[in-house]
Amino acid sequence: MLLHENDKRWTQTQLVVFFVLFLLAVPEFNPIQMLYHTFSTLQPWQVGSFCLLMMVTIFLSDAPHLLYVAIRIFFHSILSIFFDKVEIIGAYQNIPPQGPVIFCINHANQFMDAVMVLCTLRNHRPISYLMAEASWKRRIIGDFARALQVIPVKRAQDEARKGNGRVELVLEKNQEQDEQQQDKDDNQSITQQLTLQGHQGTQFTQHTKVGDKIRLEGMAYAAKIVHIESDTCLHLAWDSPTTPPLHTRLQYDILPQVPLQVVFEKVLDRLALQGAVGIFPEGGSHDRTDLLPLKIGISLLAYQALDTHGLRVPIIPVGLSYFHAHRWRGRAVVEYGKPVYVDPSTLPQFQQGGAARHHVCQAFLSQVEDAMRSVLVQSPDYETLQLLHTARRLYQRPEQLLTQEKQDLARRFTVGYQRFVQQMAEHPDAMPPEWMDLQRRLKEYANELKELGLKDYQVNMLVASEDEEKESSTLYVGLQWLYAVVHLVVLLMIAAVPTLLLNLPVGVLAGLYSERRRQKALQKSKVKVHGYDVMLTEKVVFCMVMVPTLWFIYFLILRFGTNLEGPTVSLIMLSLPVFSYIGIIVAKAGMVGWNDLRPHLMRLFPTTRPRLKALPATREALQKDLRAFIKRIGPELGDLYYEKEVDWAAVQEKYRRSKEESSVAEMPLDKKEQ
């Protein structure tokens, strides 16, 4: 039904456009020409001035909305240029058409994350975001942010400063923490009280205050200061699942406490006006394969909306999954999950403040995190994620899967892998003997494909090609080859002129610029792995400046360096965006054609022919053993193996609680009794 509605809207748009063009092209039907003919004293400049005045008046009367629509259309075009495909899951099922809503989004691609949600929302409802004040002040990005009425937020990490001397974490002795014991009983994250001892000239009383945070060398997490004793001793509240580095002298950063009440009031006002707000609870963007620890602000906003305005605001998790996001013409999946709501029965505990408020906020934050994980495919590291993607492609049935089915199957593999690893850690004697061998073979198969420059689906094409060669005549096979080569050459010829003149100069410079920005961001960040999350944003920003600049240079050349008339130059300039986009599409088609032709060309070389010939048999044997292994261990995975539809939020909650129970069980006895 969604495709039908979109097609109908597109058909209506086409009819309107061609009807207007028809009226303008035929003088007898042109309404303006009719007006001039009827009223001979009427001059063109008078009609033009009146229309211009009316346009300005209409725009000013609804400027914010019209500007928002214009920006959304512009970003739609940006996505169509930089992404080969953007697939949407759950937008119409899980997004309410009206009313207040908070979108809780993972932050994997810097500012493009906000653009992705902006352009894929149901009914194109307006959305505002929270943005770091440092980004809000940047040129171009900040200009768009102000036009979209984005709310700037001052972040503690942006104000971080290096502390004097070195510090050492030690456990406090004989501490009695009612809140900590309550967290243990409810299987929530355990808050530890740690002492930070200063060495080599620390001055805690002068340079820090209660409420500031300390971030140790090499760590992304920052612990809050709860008490300062002296220049060499203070106390921290450590509520991260990350193990604290005890008894090690490290350098450290001081993150000042940032008041957020003004920001909260602005967000609550938007929600009270039935608005939509997008939040990135991880804080900064990153290119890790798992979520960063979520900030508690999302819980505070949800509870304050209920407490202040009586709004039980739905928190909708949004999972953004990118494939080759830092490259041109990548692919993205935007998945909207089922909303999460604050339990009104816990509001009295929030209103009490102190430990009770902290407890209910942490509990709700865990629910939000479970919901976010339910719309993402995550793993401990990139290598494991690649391994699981390879296993998923080998396991799945030959027919084409829908995007939602692919995401579901990928989650079954990642969550199933986590469960299996956890079971093997608890019962190492029960490890299947073929497990390690299967992992090794998967890695070898993936590495072989990478070295040959092939994708997994192309291995099946090799088998089909060999079968066709056996069954078909030499002439037929030769004609197929000739068609493939001619098709590729024609595509490259069509794409050559617009690519070389319009796209290539800016594309090369954008790649160099984004690489420099990536390295700079990686040096400043404590959480990035490679810094790929900033590259596409920097390419887009660079192209926003350089593409118009290049077109302006061509305009000057055509206007003053040739004898072409003004209308001809104008027509050429208006055609540049069209030809530039055609160049991008045709170049992509040419690359697809080249990738399909490449395996057949590689079979002509003696060095790669044996490796290509062995790949189908290797894949078939690996696929057979993998399916047999999953069939053997599948029953132990329960609902992941048997259930057709899985409640992923419930699965993530169950997994989180089991991890928390295991961590409590593994704690030393003296620590449990504190």
pLDDT for 130-157, tens place per residue? 888 888 888 888 888 888 889 888 877 7
The Cα 118–Cα 139 span in angstroms is 20
Based on the fold, state whether residues 476 and 586 are members of the same structural domain: yes
Residue 532 in domain: yes
- Say which residue, 461 or 136, is predicted with more confidence: 136
Residue 615 in domain: no
pTM above 0.85, yes or no: no
For 181-192, the pLDDT digits (tens) are 444 444 444 567
The Cα 502–Cα 578 span in angstroms is 11
- Say which residue, 171 or 10, is predicted with more confidence: 171
User: What is the Rg, in whole angstroms, of the alpha carbon atoms belonging to the chain?
Assistant: 30
Based on the fold, state whether residues 167 and 45 are members of the same structural domain: no
Based on the fold, state whether residues 362 and 400 are members of the same structural domain: no
Residue 36 in domain: yes
478 CB-contact burial (10 Å; exposed 0-12 / middle 13-18 / buried 19+): exposed
The count of structural domains within the chain is 5
> What is each CA distance from 516 to 414, 510, 511, 520, 535, in whole angstroms?
33, 10, 9, 6, 9
Residue 364 in domain: yes
Based on the fold, state whether residues 437 and 525 are members of the same structural domain: no
Based on the fold, state whether residues 136 and 210 are members of the same structural domain: no
Based on the fold, state whether residues 361 and 395 are members of the same structural domain: no
Task: Tell me what the mean pLDDT of segment 382-401 comes to.
Answer: 88
pLDDT of residue 367: 93
Relative orientation angle of helices 63-82 and 535-561, to the nearest 10 degrees? 100
Confidence check: pLDDT of 429 > 80? no
Task: Tell me what the mean pLDDT of segment 597-624 comes to.
Answer: 85
Task: Tell me what the mean pLDDT of segment 661-669 comes to.
Answer: 55
Domain final residue pick, 45, 61, 77: 61
Based on the fold, state whether residues 478 and 596 are members of the same structural domain: yes
Confidence check: pLDDT of 661 > 50? yes
Residue 562 in domain: yes
Q: HSE-up of 335 (CA within 13 Å, CB side)?
A: 23
Confidence check: pLDDT of 358 > 80? yes
pLDDT tier at 662, thresholds 50, 70, 90: low
The three-state secondary structure class of 638 is coil
pLDDT of residue 44: 83
Relative orientation angle of helices 354-373 and 297-309, to the nearest 10 degrees? 110
Based on the fold, state whether residues 279 and 369 are members of the same structural domain: yes
State which amino acid sits at residue 609.
R
Residue 583 in domain: yes
The Cα 206–Cα 277 span in angstroms is 39
pLDDT of residue 391: 92
Question: Tokens 């456009």 belong to which residue?
Answer: 17
Based on the fold, state whether residues 476 and 597 are members of the same structural domain: yes
Domain final residue pick, 373, 407, 422: 373
Q: What percent of the chain has pLDDT over 90?
A: 25
Domain that holds residue 544: 472-604
Q: Chain centroid to CA 665: how far?
A: 35
Task: Tell me what the mean pLDDT of segment 386-409 comes to.
Answer: 88
- Say which residue, 309 or 474, is predicted with more confidence: 309
For 321-333, the pLDDT digits (tens) are 998 877 888 899 9
Based on the fold, state whether residues 307 and 416 are members of the same structural domain: no
For 239-280, the pLDDT digits (tens) are 776 778 888 888 898 998 887 788 888 899 999 998 999 999
pLDDT of residue 41: 82
226 touches 215 (CB < 8 A): no
Based on the fold, state whether residues 144 and 280 are members of the same structural domain: yes
Question: Tokens 């089909």 belong to which residue?
Answer: 464
The Cα 111–Cα 135 span in angstroms is 9
pLDDT tier at 640, thresholds 50, 70, 90: confident
Residue 90 in domain: yes
Based on the fold, state whether residues 145 and 290 are members of the same structural domain: yes
For 484-537, the pLDDT digits (tens) are 677 677 767 777 777 788 888 898 999 999 999 999 988 888 788 888 989 999
For 565-595, the pLDDT digits (tens) are 888 888 888 888 888 888 888 877 777 777 7
Could you give the maximum distance between any two Cα atoms of the chain, in Å?
Answer: 99
What CATH number is given to the structural domain containing 201? 2.40.30
For 36-79, the pLDDT digits (tens) are 888 888 888 888 888 899 989 988 888 888 888 889 999 998 99
User: Highest mean pLDDT range out of 21-25, 406-410, 471-475?
Assistant: 406-410
pLDDT tier at 341, thresholds 50, 70, 90: very high
